Amino acid sequence: MIGQYLLRKQASDERIKVLSHDLKHSLAQWRMLAEGRDDEKALESISEYEEHLLSCLLIDVENETANAIINQKRLEADQAQVEFLIDGVFHKDLLVGTLDLCSLLGNLLDNAIEAAAQAEQATLRRVALSIRRKGNLLVLVVENGYAVEPVLENGLFATHKKDRDFHALGMVSIHNVAEKYEGVVTNSYENNWFKATVMLCGYSSILSDDN
């Protein structure tokens, strides 16, 4: 069941990334054709689409896969009236595979947005993702407000949803990715704020902090 969930989750997040990538390239090709034909009306329409795409992709963390996932989650947060903050970028020598990165970011942000959306107090309806590098380590920190107190079961946080078979697997997936890259996951919560930290051997070279 865990395997089925992970495959479904990864496939969904990967489709978001592919669609975003393909749309940008398609617009570039359409622009070239329109310019070749000197079709001003088509160029105006393409420019409108490009502006719309840019407005949907306001966050750039210098990684195409992460951009697609993070911007999708930003839209979901906006729809849930949850403030969404991002700080930091990914570096070019990232070792974390595409599907693993999709799963990691998707699950971390899904959990955070879902919890924050349940809070009635405006100051708690917030999700913040920090992306940092320490040497060859990738450090992701997600903080969010919550209304419903987290519950630990067998070392993992349990879901409050009725469909427990699938909805409690996000943290399992996060731990699996961390283990794959010789990493660790730590969680803490107090005063209606939850903090999830994931530290991985995620880069191929060692650099000084945040360079």
What mean pLDDT do residues 97-119 have?
93
pLDDT score of 162 more than 80: no
pLDDT score of 53 more than 80: no
Under the banding of pLDDT at 50, 70 and 90, the label for residue 36 is confident
- Is pLDDT larger for residue 199 or for residue 164? 199
pLDDT score of 92 more than 80: yes
Domain 2-15+63-201 falls under CATH 1.10.10.10? no
128 to 5, 11, 23, 36, 162: CA distances (angstroms): 25, 25, 28, 45, 27
pTM for the predicted model, two decimal places: 0.71
What is the pLDDT, as a whole number, of residue 163? 45
176 to 65, 87, 110, 136, 200: CA distances (angstroms): 19, 25, 17, 19, 11
Report helix, strand or coil for 89: coil
pLDDT score of 211 more than 80: no
What mean pLDDT do residues 149-167 have?
56
- Is pLDDT larger for residue 1 or for residue 90? 90
Q: Give the percent of the chain with pLDDT over 70.
A: 72
Least confident of 62-66, 88-92, 114-118, 174-178: 62-66
What is the pLDDT, as a whole number, of residue 45? 78
